[in-house]
Amino acid sequence: MTILVEHYVSDSRIEEKKIRADELVLDGGFVVPKSKEADGFDAPDINFLGHSFRDYESGASERQQGVEEFYRMQHINQTYDFVKKMRKEYGKLNKMEMSIWECCELLNNVVDESDPDLDEPQIQHLLQTAEAIRRDYPDEDWLHLTALIHDLGKVLLLPEFGGLPQWAVVGDTFPVGCNFDSANIHHKYFIDNPDSNNTKYNTKNGVYSEGCGLDNVHMSWGHDDYMYLVAKENGTTLPHAGLFIIRYHSFYPLHKAGTYTYLMNDEDREDLKWLHVFNKYDLYSKSKVLVDVEQVKPYYVSLINKYFPAKLKW
């Protein structure tokens, strides 16, 4: 499957010859592939850069060396004590007051250096993901909004939010307080994490008990956990599956490799089904085809008003 990357659409009236029969254009002009099976999302084999998605190991990714250095720093510094400190500090929600849409616009200033598949402003990724899901799941408006907001926690990179280093904001996430599973990307760098030598934290269960539920597990600190805290503490009415997606969408060792499942409870297993749905859009919708922001804004603002207060504490 090939995604058109050269054709930008700002008018909903599309010339038939410019869009293939196996593609669909959404409100914002974003072209998404239509699956040949059950009319679902058909994931492409390569990203818009011409490489395999999440290409961290081969030399094919020009950004591979920088990404590997990012994970070296992340794996060394993301300790159980560090995570508890960050959750306490940012759980105060005293950095700013603004609406969800204002935060979407603020995210235009952010580029995620850990992502080898993306070099566009973050708001485009949010809308690309949301629009692709909206096409295939038109009745699940909570999922559309979850897609829009899932990366808003990346504002932690901005000076107004403390200007945290990239390794404390983005990248794959993992539990802290227990053994670092070998499924974690660039696992070799955990050898220099102090928790690796702490008998309290370096066993399979660590400080947790089997089946305790992921809500009771400390995850490596970053935009996922921060946005989860913001949504939860500001009283969102999103279903629990939405909060689950927000907190664990970067938890690739779980939803790609199938590790750490011994920490899950029954509710986690149900929510994981929605995370698997979401993840293929989060990963494979990254494209050079830009969404017309102003055209889709009214729809997403209506969802924000439905599920969130007008102003949130961040």
Residue numbers belonging to the annotated binding site for Fe cation: 125, 150-151, 223, 249, 282
Helices vs strands, H then E, count in the chain: 10, 4
Binding-site residue ranges: 54, 112-114, 125, 150-151, 154, 171-172, 223, 249-250, 282
Binding-site residue ranges for substrate: 54, 112-114, 154, 171-172, 249-250
How far is the C-alpha of 96 from the C-alpha of 82, rounded, in Å? Answer: 23
How far is the C-alpha of 251 from the C-alpha of 229, rounded, in Å? Answer: 16
Given a contact cutoff of 8 angstroms between Cβ atoms, the answer to whether 127 and 285 are in contact is no
How far is the C-alpha of 279 from the C-alpha of 78, rounded, in Å? Answer: 24
Given a contact cutoff of 8 angstroms between Cβ atoms, the answer to whether 154 and 110 are in contact is yes
For 130-148, b/e burial (b = at least 16 CB within 10 A) is bbbbbbbbeebbbbbbbbb
**Parallel, antiparallel or unpaired: strands 31-33 and 23-25:** antiparallel
Residue (of 1, 33, 38, 4) closest to 18 by Cα position: 4
